[in-house]
Structure 1
Amino acid sequence: MSHDPRPSQRTRSQRPPAPGAAPLRPLVAALLACAAVLVLFVAGAAASRFGKKPAAATAADAPSTAGPTTKPPPGIGDPARDGKFEFVVTRVDCSRTSLGVEHLKRTAKGRFCIVTLSVRDIGDGSQYFLGHAQKALDAAGAAYGNDEIAGLYVNRDNQTFLRRLTPGDRVTGQLVFDIPKTARLTSLELHDSLLSGGVKVALK
């Protein structure tokens, strides 16, 4: 009786699976389930974030459009400082065309503007007030120097501008500017010395 060495069909189908070769289908199903949960979580977070309406901007959040405030220049009656001197312009009179009396008289080429001001030494040393260092400016930007000869006429009873000022001294006098009849002064540029930066005083 001959023996068939090939295993029967029944024996081959009943062979147990190799060790460690676990079925893959349950593992794949579990991974797909986790991936689906993760996708749903991310989608929900995105909808929550981008679905909100932006809060209305408040006045505090709006950018400020106001520029830095510029302090106006001092005017008549205001103290104005340059270097060692503090000036206060108290009056401007542009109504005269001549100064002096009889033969001692000076006539303007246009008209005289007489500026009354006080000068106080606020430094720590003595110093002269120089009339020829002062300027007057009109609306067109033209500058006029102090007429020192005319100043002698208006200050003849007041020689305070001719002496050296010591710390704390205050003197009052007048500057005279000869300007065209059609010009209108808008400001003064006052200096404590010929080389100082000066300070402007508005006359409007």
Structure 2
Amino acid sequence: MSHDLRQQRRPVRAARGVSPVKVTVAVVVSGVVVVALFAAGIAAERFSNGRPADATATSAAPAQAAPRKGDPVKTDPVKAGPAFGEAVRDGKFEFAVTRVDCSSATVSLKRLKRTADGKFCIVGLTVRNIGDGSKYFLGRAQTAYDTSGATYDSDELAGLYVNGGAEAFLQKLGPGEKVSGKLVFDVPERVQLDSLELHDSPLSGGVKAPLRDRHGR
């Protein structure tokens, strides 16, 4: 042969066509990989923005120190009761203590005289009807308390003497009317009265009025 074999050109093969099935599989696999990477990125972002922040917030919260021995104990403020002479109310009556005198062991009216077993504590009191109807105030329904909590009923006969022979509180009060008088209590000599429990009727709940100021006098 006159032609050199090295100079012969080999026939060019036609390019093989890509199978549609292989293309579809490759696309699906690529999509799965992309979705998996995207999900992993979201999880990593949540982890970095969530758990460490929570841990930081928890660690940043100030710890409450335990009370030490000798520290003052905090208590809620207690509402103060009425002061001496301040008006108090029970039912349809308003009361105000005006004076307390425990300096005498006897009371008298003209030639009549009454002596206490201990001493007489004479309590000046005003009573006003704050209701819309007439009502009686009864002196015998009132009770005195000493500093130990013992109770004393009023001495009605001694009350007649100090009120000039009349029961100052045994009268009917109309709406808005006010009466002043004295209640008398026979108490042991060394006893100090602390408060008066006042009632608009024998069966009412009652209200306490102090017989001493806040300094105990």
TM-score w.r.t. structure 2 length?
0.71
Q: Which string of whole-angstrom CA distances, capped at 9 and with x for unpartnered residues, describes residues 1-59 of structure 1? A: xxxxxxxxxxxxxxx998746564553344133212311222212211233332767xx
Matches within 5 A, 1:96-175: 96-100=104-108, 104-156=112-164, 160-175=168-183
Q: Which string of whole-angstrom CA distances, capped at 9 and with x for unpartnered residues, describes residues 120-157 of structure 1? A: 11112222210110001112221111111111111117
Cα 1:102–1:170 change in 2 (3 A) is closer
Which residue does the alignment assign to 2:69? none
Q: CA deviation at 1:101?
A: 6.3
The separation in 2 between residues aligned to 1:101 and 1:197, in whole angstroms, is 34
Q: Which amino acid aligns with 1:42?
A: A
Which residue does the alignment assign to 1:27? 28
The question of whether the paired residues in 1 share the 8 Å contact of 2:122 and 2:185 is answered with yes
Which residue does the alignment assign to 1:44? 45
The question of whether the paired residues in 2 share the 8 Å contact of 1:129 and 1:161 is answered with yes
The separation in 1 between residues aligned to 2:26 and 2:189, in whole angstroms, is 109
The separation in 1 between residues aligned to 2:43 and 2:159, in whole angstroms, is 89
Match of 1:83 among 70, 91, 97: 91
The question of whether the paired residues in 2 share the 8 Å contact of 1:76 and 1:91 is answered with no
Q: Does 1:199 align with 2:199?
A: no
Cα 1:133–1:95 change in 2 (3 A) is same
SS at 1:128 equivalent:
strand
Cα 1:194–1:93 change in 2 (3 A) is same
SS at 1:72 equivalent:
coil
Q: Which amino acid aligns with 1:166?
A: G
The question of whether the paired residues in 2 share the 8 Å contact of 1:120 and 1:171 is answered with yes
Query: What's the RMSD between the two structures over aligned residues?
Result: 2.9
SS at 1:45 equivalent:
helix
Which residue does the alignment assign to 1:62? none
Q: Which string of whole-angstrom CA distances, capped at 9 and with x for unpartnered residues, describes residues 167-199 of structure 1? A: 111111100111122322221110111111111
SS at 1:108 equivalent:
strand
TM-score w.r.t. structure 1 length?
0.75
